[in-house]
A and B are shown apart, each in its own frame.
Chain A
Amino acid sequence: MTNEDALSERGPAFVRTGALRGIEGLPIDVEVDIGSGLPAFNIVGLPDAAVQEARERVRAAIRNSGFEFPLRRITVNLAPADVRKEGPVYDLPIAVAVLVASGQVPNRFGRDVALFGELSLDGRLRHGAGVLPFVAMCLAQGIGTAIVPAEDLREASVVPGIRVLGMETLAQAALDPATWAVLDEATPRIASTVQGHDLAVVQGQEHVKRALEVAAAGGHNVMMQGPPGSGKTLLARAMPGLLAPLSPAEAIEVSRSTRWPVCSRATSRCSGSGRSALRTTPSRTPASSVGGRTSGRARSRWPTVWSSFSTSSRSSALPRLRRSASRSRRVRSPSPAHEGRYRSRRGSSSSPQ
């Protein structure tokens, strides 16, 4: 093992990653300092419980990947320190920074590479939620290479103009750059599954269908009024099938505002199958409970974005909503119904679980 002098000379190691603030990715620097003192492993920089637990995963993953976990005083700083860090996706950057700081891996992670991913105890990389905002952030920051779990590669590669590499294990991510090319760029596949009813199942109501067509074509909003059973709900359900597929840029923004369903997993709230990016407009059906949801907790994990651009949201009984709920659609000025965008600082510090 390297002697203490060499270690302190090396100074703190640093790699880049990202956090989610609201729906925007934010660059985060992971700094690791290995100093003398009683063996310890501390993470500072507003980590939540899941980030704190990274210590156990990182320790095991490093050992089980054939490296040595340094028995020294290890301090991990997630900077900027005033942004709350949530979720397990800091495992990989922390582990790599520890390996760099202890001299087991040469430092070639400069400012041009960012890492992202959750580790399992045996050193494999697991799916991490929020990969798309992360990669979009990397692009915006001018980072040349984003390293993500192989499982998330397809979703991540939706973002054009940046090299995204999928890694299976910590050892792979921490090894020779020559191996990086092997798992290079998968072709993005943007899925387009039409959901909901077909318009043809609705008998009559041709004028309503025409109105829906106009709404779909121009992005206008629609209100349907009529007696029970006349087909309003059925027609509304046909709406997603009329909308044009999302452009890649739209898909990215939509998936950012709806959080992760770009690539829907089986358990995701968005329909569609496989790990491919979303091409279909997500639609929501806010029920009467929406009042509770829109006025939800400040750090709600699922802030309800009613009317984000390109999403269709439908409500069957607007007057039945609590007045405060329907008004919350336009609670901020200018309103989402007017501007087509929902602006919220709510959930500003939450991130995918």
Chain B
Amino acid sequence: MNPCPCGYYGDSLRSCSCPDGAVSRYQRRVSGPLMDRLDLFVDVPRVEFNELTGDTTGESSATVRARVIAARERQAFRLKDSPAITNSEMGPLEVRKYCQEPLVPAAQPLLATAMEQLGMSARAFHRVLKVARTIADLADSDPIETVHLAEAIQYRRRGAD
């Protein structure tokens, strides 16, 4: 989605031309309960000229897909006795067993701080842990390290801008 009706709210070059209140009205159209259910919230900023004309090409879909498939296999093995197929489908018991228990102790304070500062709900808490589990799976790691958790937390939508 765009950040506002004109689309340029928060853009680095163009200024937003929306009237007062339009931005928050626009953002409010997506309800809080729906937002709370979003796992990964990412900003897609404008692409700079240098980046656009540079000859660096990123990874191809096939490369990324190979990692995705490997991560899915890890999940399939872990969840073979459960109805869930992917990490996102894990229930509370599985979250406890596969996300909270393998979380390294060093990551606990980070989780507590994030919970408080982002005003995360219980659902958001579970969702962050599941995303962290996926990130650890992509890194082929059984324990969930602090970096995995940190990446998952930064995908949470920060409160009202």
Binding site for B on A (CB under 8 A): 194, 197-200, 202-209, 211-232, 235, 238, 241-245, 247, 250, 309-310, 316-319, 323, 326-327, 329-330, 335, 337-340
- Pick the residue among A209, A219, A230, A329 that contacts B85 (CB under 8 A): A219
A85 to chain B, nearest CB (A): 32
B47 and A214 within 8 A (CB): no
What are 17 sample pairs from A and B whose C-beta atoms fall under 8 A apart?
A204-B51, A208-B42, A209-B58, A211-B42, A214-B40, A214-B155, A218-B86, A219-B86, A222-B42, A223-B38, A224-B44, A225-B44, A226-B2, A226-B46, A229-B46, A238-B61, A247-B85
CA distance A319 to B5 in the complex (A): 9
CA distance A340 to B42 in the complex (A): 20
B134 and A218 within 8 A (CB): yes
Binding site for A on B (CB under 8 A): 1-3, 7-8, 10-11, 14, 26-27, 29-31, 33-35, 37-48, 51-52, 54, 56-62, 64-65, 67-69, 71-72, 75, 85-89, 123, 127, 130-131, 133-135, 137-138, 151, 155, 157
- Pick the residue among A200, A211, A220, A327 that contacts B61 (CB under 8 A): A200
B41 to chain A, nearest CB (A): 5
CA distance A326 to B10 in the complex (A): 24
Chain B residue nearest in CB terms to A204: B51
CA distance A339 to B27 in the complex (A): 24
- Within 8 Å CB of A317, what residues of B? 1-2
- Pick the residue among A220, A230, A235, A339 that contacts B45 (CB under 8 A): A230
- Within 8 Å CB of B71, what residues of A? 217-218
B34 and A218 within 8 A (CB): no
B52 and A217 within 8 A (CB): no
The number of inter-chain residue pairs (CB within 8 angstroms) is 200
CA distance A179 to B138 in the complex (A): 52
CA distance A125 to B8 in the complex (A): 58
- Within 8 Å CB of A216, what residues of B? 64-65, 68
In the complex, the 4 A-B pairs of residues with the closest C-beta atoms, listed nearest first: A218-B134, A219-B86, A226-B44, A220-B39
B2 and A227 within 8 A (CB): yes
A203 and B75 within 8 A (CB): no
A319 and B29 within 8 A (CB): yes
Q: A218-B75, A244-B69 are in contact. Are A330 and B33 (CB under 8 A)?
A: yes
- Pick the residue among A245, A319, A323 that contacts B1 (CB under 8 A): A319
- Pick the residue among B33, B52, B85 that contacts A203 (CB under 8 A): B52
A218 and B137 within 8 A (CB): yes
CA distance A199 to B68 in the complex (A): 14
CA distance A235 to B65 in the complex (A): 14
B51 and A218 within 8 A (CB): no
A82 to chain B, nearest CB (A): 31
CA distance A304 to B133 in the complex (A): 31
Extra inter-chain contacts (7) besides given A213-B64, A228-B7, A338-B37, CB under 8 Å: A214-B138, A217-B71, A217-B137, A221-B37, A223-B1, A330-B37, A340-B88
CA distance A247 to B138 in the complex (A): 19
CA distance A250 to B67 in the complex (A): 20
Q: Chain A CB within 10 Å — which of B54, B58, B61, B151 has the most?
A: B61
A240 to chain B, nearest CB (A): 9
- Within 8 Å CB of B88, what residues of A? 218-221, 340
A199 and B157 within 8 A (CB): no
B157 to chain A, nearest CB (A): 7
- Within 8 Å CB of A244, what residues of B? 65, 68-69, 72
CA distance A335 to B34 in the complex (A): 9
Chain A residue nearest in CB terms to B48: A204
B60 and A231 within 8 A (CB): no
CA distance A159 to B30 in the complex (A): 40
Q: A218-B133, A319-B27 are in contact. Are A242 and B1 (CB under 8 A)?
A: no
B5 to chain A, nearest CB (A): 8
CA distance A198 to B88 in the complex (A): 25
- Within 8 Å CB of B38, what residues of A? 221-223, 337
Q: A244-B68, A340-B88 are in contact. Are A221 and B40 (CB under 8 A)?
A: yes
